Structure 1
Amino acid sequence: MKKIKAAVVAIAAIAGMTVAVAPAQAASNCTAGGGGIYICDYGVKDHALPGGEKEQFLVGTDYAVWTRWTINKQWTGWVSLGMPDPLGKARGASSINVTDEQVQGNFRTGIYLRNSNGALVGKIRPGLGQGWWAWDFPNCC
C-alpha cells in the first residue's frame, strides 16, 4: 500500500512539474532592433509620430511593455513602460491599441491593452517629449 501511495505521489508531482514547465517552453524569444528581446508570439507594434519619426512597442520577456522611438531618424534605446503588479502583466503587443489626438496643441498618445487579469489598462503621454502617466483603468476604448 505504501508503494502505491508513493507511486501516486510521484506521478502527481511529475505531472504538476510538466504542467508548470509547459508555458515557459512554449514562449520563444525574438530580438528586435536595438537589442530588444521580446516574446515572439506578441510581435512588435509600430506607431508613426509627427514629422516622420517612429515609435515601437513590444512586450519584453519580463512581460512589461517596452518602447523606443526615433529622434532625427535614429533609434533610441528601449525604455520600459512597466506594468505594475496590481494591474497584471501585459498580455501581448498584438493586443496593444495606440491612439493619437490633438489636445490643446499637444500630440497626445494613449496605449491600451488587456493585462493578464483580462482588464483593460492604459497609459497616456500628454505630449511629445513628455513622460508617460501611470497605468490606469480607462473609461474608454
Structure 2
Amino acid sequence: MKRTLMRKTAMTVAGLTLFGTLVGGGTAVAVTNGADTGLASCVTGTRNWGGNILSQYGCTEYDLPNGEQQVFGIGTDGAIWTRWSRTNGTLSSWTSLNGQGRSSVYAGGTAWAITLSVIGTDGNWWYNNRGGTASGGWSGWHR
C-alpha cells in the first residue's frame, strides 16, 4: 500500500510543529531538532528516518511491494532527498535526487513505478519517475 502526503496541515504541540496525514493511515510529522526550528527529522507512522529536512514540507512515505518503505523530503540544500528501508531492517544512506523543491514531495504510483511531484523554484510542478522494476532507476526531473 502506498502512503502519500496529500495535504499538509500544521499544528503546534509542546513546541513541535506537526505536519500532515498519510493516505492509508498513519501520520507524517516533522520533529524539530532543537538547533534550528526550520529543520526537522523525517518521522512517519512507521519510524524516525532521521536526517535534516525542511520542517515546513515534512516528508512522504511510500510502501514498496517487497515490504520495504521509501521516504522523500526536501533537504537543507533545497534538493529532494530519499532514504529507504531494507528487508533486513537496516536503512540506506540519504541519497539526493537533485532538483530543487519548494513544496512537500508527493509520491504516487503502483508497486515499483513511482512518480514524484514537487513545486520547483520556478513555481512549476516538476516530476521524476522511477522505473517499474525493483532495480528501476529515476528518469530525472522534468515538467
TM range (shorter): 0.5 to 0.7
Runs of 4+, deviation exceeding 6 Å: none
Distance 1:39 1:27 in 2: 9
Q: Which residue of 2 aligns with 1:78?
A: 94
Aligned length: 101
Give the deviation of 1:31 after TM superposition: 2.6
**What is the TM-score with the length of structure 1 in the denominator?**
0.64
More helix by share: 1
More strand by share: 2
Pairwise CA RMSD: 2.0
1:35-54 Cα distance to aligned partner (Å, 9 max, x none): 41111111111111112210
Q: Which residue of 2 aligns with 1:63?
A: 78
1:56-105 Cα distance to aligned partner (Å, 9 max, x none): 0000000000001111132111000001xxxxx30122xx2212136xxx
How much identity, in percent, do the aligned residues show? 26
Contact preservation (8 Å) 1:101, 1:109: yes
Q: What is the DSSP-based 3-state SS (H/G/I as helix, E as strand, rest coil) of the residue aligned with 1:42?
A: coil
Distance 2:49 2:101 in 1: 21
**What is the TM-score with the length of structure 2 in the denominator?**
0.63
Contact preservation (8 Å) 1:28, 1:41: yes
Q: Which residue of 1 aligns with 2:10?
A: none
* 1:128 aligned partner, one-letter code: A
1:119 aligns with 2:121: no
Q: Which residue of 2 aligns with 1:30?
A: 40
Structure ID, larger Rg: 1
Which of 92, 96, 100 does residue 103 from structure 2 map onto? Answer: 92
